[in-house]
C-alpha cells in the first residue's frame, strides 16, 4: 500500500500529515456555531392582517382567500397554511429549503401589494414577516413591580425594552404578554347620543377632522426662513373631552357630553403571572432560520445592559428559555464523549497489555475526531446534539482500523520479525481490509444523509460526521499507525509487572481463542445447527418487530412542561382565568418542593379569551431525582378533576420540532367547511371510543355563540340607510374602532371609540343604536331595519394548501405509541369518509409519517450500496453475500434489546439499526479477506476459513468490544436528552453483542458452503500473467504481445 509504505519510510511526513489534520480541524471547530439540532428550519414567511370586528367567515373570504390567491404563484412554495379568526387572518408560506428567506419574503410582499386594493378599506395593511405566524416564543422575559401597575409595566416594556430586543440578530418579533397598551378610550353613551340627536359616524368624523397636524408652508424674510405648522393635534384627555362635535346655534356640543373619555388600555384581555405574581411578559420569537442559542445569548447580553438602567422598583427575570435544555444537552453529550473515550482506551489497554501499544490507537481518536470537524466546517454544519452523538459513536469506530493494523503488526513481531519489517509487511497485509471497511461504513452513513423530509435533513449532519470521522481514521491508520508501530512496538513487555499482566491476559485470550477454534470446527462440521439458530433468530425478530411501540422520537426530559388550557368557545377571559388560577393553586407548591423553579401563566394571549397556557420550568436535572415524565403524570392526576375547561399536559417535542401542539394531528380537507366539519365530527366521535386517545378534539367547532344581524334591505333603502352605515356603526359600538391617535412622550397611541360596557351587555342593547339617513333628518333606531338571531359559529377557520381543512388532535395514553394512533385514525377515515376527503398530517405526526417511509428506503438503499461496494472490492458476488447475511442477525439483536429495555422503535433506534449494517459488514470483511489470502496461498476452503477466522478472532473481539464500550455511556446516560442517546446506544449494544456472537460462527459456515463457487479476486490477473508468459503459457499467447510478468 503506497500510503503505509511512504509513511514507514518517511516518518516525519506521516507525523506532519496528522498534525496538519489536527491544526485544520481545530481551526474549523472554532468557527462552528453551536445549536441544539442542525438547521432544518425551512424558509417560512407569514402574512398577518387584522380586520377589527369582522367575523371569521368574512375575514376568510375577503382577506385570507385573496392573499392565498396572490401568493400561490410564487416560485418554490412547499405548502400554504392559513388560519382565520374573528378580526384576524394569518397565512404561513413554507418554501423549499433552497429558497433564500429574504428573497422569498420580498416576493411575498410584492404579491400582497398587488392585491391591496381588493382588501376591505377598514382592514389594516397586511404585515409580512420572516417567521411562522403561529410561531411560539423561544424565550419569555417577565417584568414585575410592587409599585407600578400593569399598564405602566406594559408601556415600559413596549416603549423601552421591546425595541431593544427586536433589533437583535435572529429576533423576528417580541410579543407582549399580558399587554396593557395605553389608549384614550371614548366610551359612547347611546342614550346621550340619541338625546343630542347625534350619530356614531358624526362623532368619528369630528375626531378625524379636528385631530390633525399638517405642514402649512413657510415664511421667508430676507435673512431667515420659518416653517409654519398648524398645531391641530390633541395631546391629552381634557383636549379630547372639550372637542367640539357640533354647533347648535350658540351651543357647542362637546365630546365629553356624549361620552366618557379617559386614559385606558387598548385591550384588557391578556393576563400574565410569573410564579403567581402579576407580571408583564416579553416573548422573543426567533426568525425561522435563526440559531436558538445565539439568539438567547444576544438577548441575555442585552438584558445585562438593561438591568444597569432598570428602575429600582422593577424586577426583570427570565421565566422560560429553550436554550437551557440545549446547553445542558450538549454538556451531557460532551461528558458522555469523555467517558466513551476513556472506556475505549481502557479496553484497548486490556487487550494489548502495553501502554506503548495502547498509545497508537489512542492517538488515532483525537486526530480522527478533530479531523472530522474539517468536513463539518466545509459543509457549513454546526456543533449540535446529533453531530456530537455521531462523534461519540465514531469513537469505537475510529480506533478499529488502527487496532486491526496494530494487532497484525504486533503478531508478526511476536513471530520474530523486526518491528520495521513487521510494520512494512503487516500494513500491506491488512491495507485492503482497512480500505474495504472504510468504504463500507461510508456507504452506510452517506445514504442516511439523503433521507427525505425534515428528519432526513436533520440526520444529514449525523451521517456526514460519522463518514468524515471514519475516513480520517482510515487515513491515520494507513499513515501514522504503521509508522508508530515501527518505532514503538516491541516483542516483550516493558516491565516485570507488565510481564505478569501480559502472561495473565494472554492465558485468557489464548483460552478464548482455543475455545473459539474448537466451537468453530464443530460448527463447520454441523452447518445445519448454526443456520437453524440463525433462522430462529429471524423468526424472533419478525415476532418482536410489529409489537414494538413506534414514535418519531423518545419523550425527552427537557426540563419544562407545557399545559395548554381551552375553555368553551366564547368564554370570557375572566372565566378562563378562574380555572387557570385553580390549576395554579395546585401546581405552585412544586416551587417549594424543589421540583420546579419557574411557573408562567398566560391567559388570553393574542386576544384569544378562551385560551391560555401554563409553563412549568423544572429545576436542573442534576438537582432532582424525579423525571419530567413522572411529574407530568402527577400533574395530570392533580388537574383531572378541574371541570369547565380542558387542560392538556404536554412534554415538549424534541428533534427540532416547534410549538406546543399535541402529538396526534390528523388533517381532513375537502371542498367546503360544511363537509370537513361533518367528516371531522364523525371521526372525533369514533376516536373517543379509543381509551388510549386522550383529549380528542378538532379546531373546528360551531360552539362560539354569535349574534347574526339580518338587515332588511328594502326597509334600509326606504330609510336611505346603506348596509355600510349599519356595518360601520355596529363595528364601532361593539367591536371598537381606532379612529385617530395622540402623541405621548414621543410615541403614538390609539384613540378608540366603543360603546360603554353597560350599552353592550345584552343582545337587546343593539336595538338602541341610532343611525341617520344619508340625506339627513331624524335618527332611525337600528331595530327598525334589522332582526337579531343567535347562532353557533366557528371562531377559527383553517385552510391547508388552499383547501378548507380541519385538524383532529389528541394526546396519547401511557404506553400507547404514535404509530398505532395514526394507523387507527387513518383506518377510521378510510372506512367512514367519502373518497373526496383528503387525508394528511401535521406537525409531529407528519414528521413521523415522512421518516417512517424514508427510513426503510434508506435501509434498503444502504444495504444495496454496501453489497455493491463489497462486490467491487472482492471482485465477487459470493463474498459480499456471505458478509451481508450477517446483517439480519444484528437487526434481531437490536430488536431484542429494544424489547427488553422497553425503548420504542424511533428515528434514533432506526438510525442505529442502519449503523449495524456497516458494523457487521466490517467484522465480516476481516474474516473473509484473511481467508481469501490463505486460499491464494493454496489452502483449501475449510482450512482457510478456520485459520483466517482464528487469526482474526482477537481483532474482531477487540474492535467489537471497543465499539460496545463506546456505546455504553449512551445507554447509561442521564440528564438532558438522555432518552434519545439511550435509544441509539441500546441498539448498538444489543445488535453488536448478539450478532458478533453468532456471526463469528455463521460467516465461516457460509464461507465454507459458498466460497468454493467464487474465484479469487486475482484470478483474472493470474490468467493474464499466465497468458503473457509466452507459448508455454497456453495456445492463446499469440493473441497479445509478449511481456514480462513483472509488468503486471
Q: For the segment 921-968, what is each residue's pLDDT rounded down to a tens digit?
A: 777 777 887 787 787 777 788 888 888 788 778 778 877 887 788 788
Q: Which residues of the chain have pLDDT under 70?
A: 1-2, 131-135, 288-289, 353, 448-456, 491-503, 505, 605-607, 654-660, 701-706, 792-795, 1014-1023, 1025-1026, 1030-1048
Reported pTM: 0.74
Joined grid coordinates for residue 489: 512496538
Helices (H) and strands (E) in the chain, counts: 32, 31
Using alpha carbons, list the distances in angstroms from residue 217 to 211, 228, 229: 19, 5, 7
From the list 772, 770, 797, the residue with the least C-alpha distance to 781 is 770
Q: How far apart are CA 29 and CA 398, in angstroms?
A: 19
Q: How far apart are CA 1030 and CA 1048, in angstroms?
A: 14
Q: How far apart are CA 804 and CA 429, in angstroms?
A: 67
The DSSP 8-state label assigned to residue 5 in this structure reads: H
First CA to last CA across the chain, in angstroms? 16
Q: How many CB atoms lie within 10 A of CB 574?
A: 11
According to the model, what pLDDT value does residue 132 have? Answer: 58
Q: How far apart are CA 910 and CA 517, in angstroms?
A: 34
Check: CB of residue 747 under 8 Å from CB of residue 154.
no
Check: CB of residue 561 under 8 Å from CB of residue 649.
yes
Using alpha carbons, list the distances in angstroms from residue 1031 to 119, 195, 881, 1024: 94, 128, 38, 13
According to the model, what pLDDT value does residue 1034 have? Answer: 47
According to the model, what pLDDT value does residue 538 have? Answer: 80
Question: What is the b/e burial string over 84-106, where b = at least 16 CB atoms within 10 angstroms of the residue's CB?
Answer: bbbbbbbbbbbbeeebebeebbe
Domain boundaries along the sequence of the chain: 2-36+326-552+849-1017, 135-215+229-270+279-321+720-780, 559-651, 1018-1048
Joined grid coordinates for residue 221: 424674510
According to the model, what pLDDT value does residue 299 have? Answer: 92
CA angle 740-745-751, nearest 5°? 20
Using alpha carbons, list the distances in angstroms from residue 958 to 339, 397, 742: 18, 11, 79
DSSP codes, 588-631: THHHHTTSEEEEEEEESGGG-TTEEEEEEEEPPGGG-SS-HHHH
Q: How many CB atoms lie within 10 A of CB 234?
A: 23
From the list 48, 18, 88, 92, the residue with the least C-alpha distance to 658 is 92
Provide the 3-class DSSP secondary structure of residue 32: coil
Check: CB of residue 692 under 8 Å from CB of residue 813.
yes
For 17-138, strand residue ranges (E) read 44-50, 77-85, 88-95, 127-129
Torsion of Cα atoms, 838 then 841 then 842 then 847, to 10°:
-140
Q: How far apart are CA 156 and CA 159, in angstroms?
A: 5
Joined grid coordinates for residue 342: 476513556
According to the model, what pLDDT value does residue 702 have? Answer: 58
From the list 1045, 1039, 995, the residue with the least C-alpha distance to 1025 is 1045
Segments in 291-418 forming alpha helices (H):
292-309, 323-352, 355-379, 385-414
Are 2-36+326-552+849-1017 and 559-651 equal in CATH topology?
no
Provide the 3-class DSSP secondary structure of residue 314: strand
Joined grid coordinates for residue 570: 366564547
Check: CB of residue 49 under 8 Å from CB of residue 67.
yes
Check: CB of residue 963 under 8 Å from CB of residue 441.
no
Query: What is the enclosing helix (H) or strand (E) of 792?
Result: strand 786-793
Burial class (CB in 10 A: 0-12, 13-18, 19+), 993: middle
Question: What is the b/e burial string over 921-932, where b = at least 16 CB atoms within 10 angstroms of the residue's CB?
Answer: bbbbbbbbbbbb
Query: What is the enclosing helix (H) or strand (E) of 806?
Result: strand 803-812
Q: What CATH superfamily is the domain 2-36+326-552+849-1017? A: Multidrug efflux transporter AcrB transmembrane domain (1.20.1640.10)
The DSSP 8-state label assigned to residue 672 in this structure reads: S
Q: How far apart are CA 273 and CA 599, in angstroms?
A: 8
Q: How far apart are CA 482 and CA 423, in angstroms?
A: 6
Q: How far apart are CA 29 and CA 544, in angstroms?
A: 42
- Report the relative pairing of strands 704-711 and 271-274 from DSSP bridges: unpaired
State residue 812 phi and psi, 5-degree precision.
-115, 140
State residue 260 phi and psi, 5-degree precision.
-95, 110
CA angle 553-554-557, nearest 5°? 125
Check: CB of residue 700 under 8 Å from CB of residue 669.
no
Q: Which residues contact residue 1023 at a Cβ distance below 8 angstroms, ignoring those fewer than 6 apart?
A: none
Using alpha carbons, list the distances in angstroms from residue 407 to 289, 931, 958: 48, 17, 10
Answer left, alpha or beta for residue 852, where phi above 0 means left and psi between -120 and 50 means alpha. Answer: alpha
Q: What CATH superfamily is the domain 135-215+229-270+279-321+720-780? A: Multidrug efflux transporter AcrB pore domain like (3.30.70.1320)
- Report the relative pairing of strands 596-603 and 611-618 from DSSP bridges: antiparallel
Q: How far apart are CA 164 and CA 151, in angstroms?
A: 19
CATH number belonging to the domain at 559-651, selected among 3.30.70.1430, 3.30.70.270, 3.40.50.720, 3.50.30.30:
3.30.70.1430
Amino acid at each position: 500500500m503506497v500510503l503505509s509504505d511512504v509513511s514507514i519510510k518517511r516518518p516525519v511526513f506521516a507525523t506532519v500529515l496528522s498534525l496538519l489534520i489536527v491544526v485544520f480541524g481545530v481551526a474549523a471547530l472554532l468557527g462552528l456555531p453551536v445549536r441544539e439540532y442542525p438547521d432544518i428550519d425551512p424558509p417560512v414567511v407569514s402574512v398577518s392582517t387584522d380586520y377589527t370586528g369582522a367575523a371569521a367567515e368574512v375575514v376568510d373570504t375577503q382577506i385570507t382567500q385573496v392573499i392565498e390567491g396572490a401568493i400561490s404563484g410564487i416560485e418554490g412554495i412547499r405548502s400554504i397554511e392559513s388560519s382565520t379568526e374573528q378580526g384576524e387572518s394569518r397565512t404561513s408560506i413554507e418554501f423549499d429549503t433552497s429558497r433564500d428567506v429574504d428573497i422569498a419574503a420580498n416576493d411575498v410582499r410584492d404579491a400582497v401589494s398587488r392585491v391591496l386594493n381588493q382588501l376591505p378599506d377598514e382592514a389594516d395593511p397586511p404585515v409580512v414577516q420572516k417567521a411562522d405566524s403561529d410561531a411560539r416564543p423561544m424565550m419569555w422575559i417577565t417584568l414585575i413591580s410592587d409599585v407600578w401597575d400593569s399598564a405602566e409595566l406594559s408601556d415600559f416594556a413596549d416603549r423601552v425594552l421591546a425595541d431593544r430586543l427586536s433589533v437583535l440578530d435572529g429576533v423576528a418579533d417580541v410579543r407582549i404578554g399580558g399587554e396593557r397598551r395605553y389608549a384614550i378610550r371614548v366610551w359612547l353613551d347611546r342614550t346621550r347620543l340619541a338625546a343630542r340627536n347625534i350619530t356614531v359616524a358624526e362623532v368619528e368624523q369630528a375626531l378625524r377632522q379636528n385631530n390633525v397636524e399638517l405642514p402649512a408652508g413657510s415664511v421667508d424674510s430676507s435673512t431667515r426662513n420659518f416653517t409654519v405648522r398648524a398645531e391641530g393635534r390633541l395631546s391629552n384627555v381634557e383636549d379630547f373631552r372639550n372637542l367640539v362635535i357640533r354647533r347648535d346655534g350658540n351651543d357647542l356640543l362637546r365630546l365629553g357630553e356624549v361620552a366618557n373619555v379617559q386614559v385606558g388600555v387598548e385591550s384588557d384581555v391578556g393576563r400574565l403571572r410569573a410564579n403567581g405574581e402579576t407580571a408583564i411578559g416579553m416573548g422573543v420569537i426567533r426568525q425561522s432560520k435563526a440559531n436558538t442559542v445565539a439568539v438567547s445569548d444576544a438577548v441575555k447580553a442585552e438584558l445585562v445592559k438593561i438591568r444597569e438602567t432598570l428602575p429600582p422598583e422593577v424586577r426583570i427575570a427570565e421565566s422560560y428559555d429553550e436554550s437551557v435544555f440545549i446547553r445542558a444537552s450538549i454538556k451531557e453529550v460532551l461528558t458522555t464523549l469523555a467517558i466513551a473515550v476513556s472506556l475505549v482506551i481502557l479496553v484497548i489497554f486490556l487487550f494489548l497489555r502495553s501502554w506503548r501499544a495502547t498509545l497508537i490507537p489512542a492517538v488515532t481518536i483525537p486526530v480522527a475526531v478533530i479531523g472530522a470537524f474539517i468536513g463539518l466546517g466545509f459543509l457549513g454544519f454546526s456543533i449540535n446534539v446529533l453531530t456530537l452523538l455521531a462523534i461519540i459513536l465514531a469513537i469505537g469506530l475510529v480506533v478499529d482500523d488502527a487496532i486491526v493494523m496494530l494487532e497484525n503488526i504486533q503478531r508478526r513481531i511476536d513471530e520474530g520479525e523486526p518491528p520495521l519489517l513487521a510494520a512494512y509487511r503487516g500494513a500491506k497485509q491488512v491495507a485492503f481490509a482497512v480500505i474495504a471497511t472504510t468504504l463500507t461504513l461510508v456507504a452506510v452513513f452517506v445514504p442516511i444523509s439523503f433521507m427525505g423530509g425534515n428528519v432526513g435533513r436533520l440526520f444529514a449532519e449525523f451521517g456526514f460526521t460519522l463518514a468524515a470521522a471514519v475516513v480520517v481514521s482510515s487515513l491515520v491508520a494507513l499513515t501514522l499507525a504503521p509508522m508508530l508501530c515501527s518505532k514503538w512496538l516491541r516483542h516483550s513487555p516493558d516491565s516485570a509487572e507488565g510481564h505478569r499482566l501480559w502472561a495473565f491476559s494472554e492465558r485468557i485470550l489464548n483460552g478464548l481463542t482455543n475455545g473459539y477454534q474448537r466451537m468453530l470446527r464443530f460448527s463447520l462440521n454441523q452447518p445445519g445447527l448454526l443456520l437453524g439458530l440463525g433462522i430462529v433468530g429471524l423468526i424472533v425478530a419478525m415476532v418482536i418487530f410489529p409489537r414494538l411501540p413506534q414514535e418519531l422520537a423518545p419523550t425527552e426530559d427537557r426540563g419544562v412542561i407545557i399545559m395548554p388550557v381551552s375553555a368553551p368557545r366564547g368564554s370570557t377571559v375572566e372565566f378562563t382565568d378562574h380555572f387557570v388560577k385553580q390549576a395554579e393553586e395546585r401546581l405552585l407548591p412544586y416551587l417549594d418542593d424543589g421540583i420546579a423553579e419557574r411557573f408562567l401563566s398566560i391567559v388570553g394571549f393574542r386576544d384569544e379569551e378562551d385560551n391560555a397556557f401554563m409553563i412549568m420550568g423544572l429545576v436542573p436535572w442534576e438537582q432532582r431525582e424525579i423525571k419530567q415524565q413522572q411529574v407530568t403524570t402527577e400533574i395530570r392526576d392533580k388537574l383531572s378533576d378541574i371541570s369547565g375547561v380542558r387542560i392538556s399536559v404536554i412534554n415538549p417535542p424534541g428533534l427540532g420540532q416547534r410549538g406546543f401542539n399535541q402529538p396526534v394531528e390528523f388533517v381532513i380537507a375537502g371542498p367546503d367547511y360544511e363537509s370537513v366539519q361533518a367528516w371531522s365530527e364523525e371521526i372525533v366521535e369514533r376516536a373517543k371510543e379509543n381509551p388510549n386517545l386522550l383529549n380528542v378534539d378538532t379546531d373546528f367547532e360551531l360552539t362560539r355563540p354569535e349574534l347574526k344581524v339580518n338587515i332588511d334591505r328594502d326597509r334600509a333603502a326606504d330609510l336611505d340607510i346603506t348596509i355600510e352605515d349599519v356595518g360601520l356603526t355596529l363595528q364601532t359600538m361593539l367591536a371598537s374602532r381606532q379612529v385617530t391617535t395622540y402623541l405621548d412622550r414621543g410615541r403614538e397611541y390609539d384613540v378608540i371609540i366603543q360603546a360603554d360596557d353597560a350599552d353592550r351587555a345584552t343582545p337587546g342593547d343593539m336595538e338602541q343604536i341610532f343611525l341617520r339617513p344619508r340625506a339627513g333628518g331624524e335618527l332611525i333606531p337600528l331595530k327598525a331595519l334589522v332582526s337579531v338571531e343567535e347562532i353557533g359559529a366557528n371562531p377559527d377557520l383553517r385552510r391547508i394548501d388552499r383547501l378548507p381543512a380541519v385538524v383532529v388532535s389528541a394526546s396519547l395514553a401511557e404506553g400507547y405509541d404514535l404509530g398505532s394512533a395514526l394507523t387507527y385514525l387513518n383506518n377510521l377515515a378510510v372506512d367512514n369518509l367519502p373518497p373526496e376527503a383528503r387525508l394528511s398530517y401535521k406537525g409531529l405526526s407528519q414528521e413521523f409519517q415522512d421518516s417512517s417511509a424514508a427510513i426503510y428506503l434508506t435501509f434498503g438503499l444502504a444495504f444495496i450500496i454496501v453489497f455493491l461496494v463489497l462486490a467491487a472490492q472482492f471482485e465477487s458476488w459470493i463474498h459480499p453475500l456471505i458478509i451481508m447475511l450477517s446483517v439480519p442477525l444484528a437487526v434481531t439483536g437490536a430488536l431484542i434489546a429494544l424489547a427488553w429495555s422497553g425503548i420504542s422503535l424511533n428515528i434514533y433506534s432506526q438510525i442505529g439499526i442502519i449503523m449495524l449494517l456497516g458494523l457487521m459488514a466490517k467484522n465480516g470483511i476481516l474474516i473473509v479477506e484473511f481467508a481469501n489470502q490463505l486460499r491464494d496461498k493454496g489452502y483449501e476452503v475449510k482450512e482457510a476459513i478456520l485459520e483466517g477466522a482464528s487469526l482474526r478472532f482477537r481483532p474482531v473481539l477487540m474492535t467489537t468490544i471497543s465499539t460496545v464500550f463506546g456505546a455504553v455511556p449512551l445507554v447509561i446516560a442521564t440528564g438532558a436528552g438522555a432518552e434519545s442517546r439511550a435509544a441509539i446506544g441500546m441498539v448498538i449494544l444489543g445488535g453488536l453483542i448478539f450478532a458478533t456472537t453468532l456471526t463469528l460462527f455463521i460467516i465461516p459456515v457460509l464461507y465454507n458452503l459458498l466460497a468454493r463457487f467464487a474465484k479469487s479476486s486475482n484470478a483474472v490477473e493470474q490468467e493474464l500473467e499466465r497468458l503473457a508468459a509466452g507459448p508455454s503459457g497456453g495456445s492463446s499467447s499469440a493473441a497479445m504481445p509478449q511481456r514480462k510478468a513483472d509488468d503486471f
